[in-house]
């Protein structure tokens, strides 16, 4: 897709989302044991991650159904208008430790990325076409550890948290993966968020002095440009799920 057009579509999606946003309140809760077909119980299912496609109003929730074997893994597709499960995505590589899996959405190109920790301790990224909901490509990054992911909707690049490195998938078509070392260790279960207008990643880490840092990673130069020490009272920042307001550039954590 042509870059200016991509930027226009991204801006349009954001504008539409901001117009529909109202007062912030809890609308509903969807208990996992109550969803699924009548013949399939999700009793005891554990949600591993969640992602929202702002263009289609679909919510994607990877769940683990069988803790004993760690192999029954699927992604529930929820209609954001009705809060009902409408599809289930299956057929992913057998996951030996799906707790380290993640999901990310490219709303502009309508692709869904799901990574699972497969057999032989290999991280595999499944690329799903959002129109057909079928896996169209499986990508194996050079670093074996799976982690949380973030997608830049303007460039189409996918960033995977690998602990002491970032794996970058160039595009769903090429699958070319670059790896960049980080000057510190971050938990691969730590969330990342991207601001696509400035192509900057945000994530937490531990420094060599064991203090907690909030890091700004420039994806144009592939390096950390700033790091801020966090008050020790904000315990375990590396597990915080940060969010960013793309319009104002403000970053929020809890």
99, 64 Cβ separation under 8 angstroms: yes
Number of domains in the chain: 2
Given 181, 209, 240, which residue is the final one in a domain? 181
In this prediction, residue 232 carries a pLDDT of 57
Given 181, 208, 243, which residue is the final one in a domain? 181
pLDDT in tens, 192-207: 888 888 888 888 776 6
Q: How many residues does the chain have?
A: 254
- No. of helices (H) and no. of strands (E), the chain: 1, 19
What SS3 state is found at 14?
A: helix
pTM of the model as a whole: 0.78
CA pair distance 33, 30, nearest whole angstrom: 9
Cα-based distances in Å from 97 to 8, 124, 131, 164: 39, 12, 28, 19
Is 29 part of any domain?
A: no
Same-domain pairing of 199 and 222: yes
CA pair distance 94, 165, nearest whole angstrom: 24
40-69 burial string, b = 16+ CB within 10 Å, else e? Answer: eebeebeebbebbbbbeebbbbbbbbeeee
58, 77 Cβ separation under 8 angstroms: yes
Is 140 part of any domain?
A: yes
Instruction: Look up the domain containing 237 and give its range.
Output: 184-254
Same-domain pairing of 168 and 237: no
CATH number of the domain that residue 42 is part of: 2.130.10.10
Same-domain pairing of 173 and 122: yes
In this prediction, residue 100 carries a pLDDT of 62
Is 225 part of any domain?
A: yes
| Helical (H) or strand (E) element with 7 | helix 3-20
In this prediction, residue 169 carries a pLDDT of 92
Which residues does the chain have with pLDDT short of 70?
A: 1-24, 31-45, 66-71, 94-101, 118-121, 144, 184-189, 206-211, 230-254
In this prediction, residue 99 carries a pLDDT of 60
In this prediction, residue 41 carries a pLDDT of 54
In this prediction, residue 208 carries a pLDDT of 56
List, in order, residues 6 or more apart from 10 with CB less than 8 Å away.
Answer: 108, 153, 154, 196
Is 28 part of any domain?
A: no
CA angle 245, 101, 186 (to 5 degrees): 65
């Amino acid at each position: 897709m042509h870059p200016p057009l991509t930027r226009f579509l991204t801006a349009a999606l954001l504008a539409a989302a901001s117009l529909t946003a109202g007062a912030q309140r809890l609308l509903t809760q969807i208990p996992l044991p109550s969803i699924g077909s009548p013949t399939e119980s999700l009793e005891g299912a554990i949600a591993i991650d969640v992602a929202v496609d702002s263009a289609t109003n679909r919510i994607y929730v990877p769940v683990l159904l069988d803790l004993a074997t760690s192999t029954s893994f699927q992604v529930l597709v929820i209609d954001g208008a009705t809060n009902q499960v409408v599809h289930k995505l299956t057929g992913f590589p057998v996951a030996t430790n799906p707790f380290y899996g993640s999901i990310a959405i490219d709303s502009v190109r309508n692709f869904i990325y799901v990574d699972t920790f497969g057999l032989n301790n290999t991280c595999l990224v499944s690329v799903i076409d959002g129109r057909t909901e079928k896996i169209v490509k499986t990508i194996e990054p050079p670093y074996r550890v799976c982690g949380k992911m973030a997608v830049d909707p303007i460039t189409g690049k996918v960033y995977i948290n690998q602990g002491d490195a970032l794996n970058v998938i160039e595009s769903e078509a090429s699958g070319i993966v670059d790896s960049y070392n980080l000057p510190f260790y971050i938990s691969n279960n730590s969330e990342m968020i991207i601001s696509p207008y400035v192509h900057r990643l945000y994530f937490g880490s531990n420094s060599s002095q064991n203090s907690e840092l909030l890091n700004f990673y420039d994806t144009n130069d592939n390096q950390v440009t700033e790091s801020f020490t966090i008050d020790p009272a904000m315990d375990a920042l590396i597990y915080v799920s940060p969010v960013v307001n793309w319009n104002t550039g403000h970053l929020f954590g809890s």
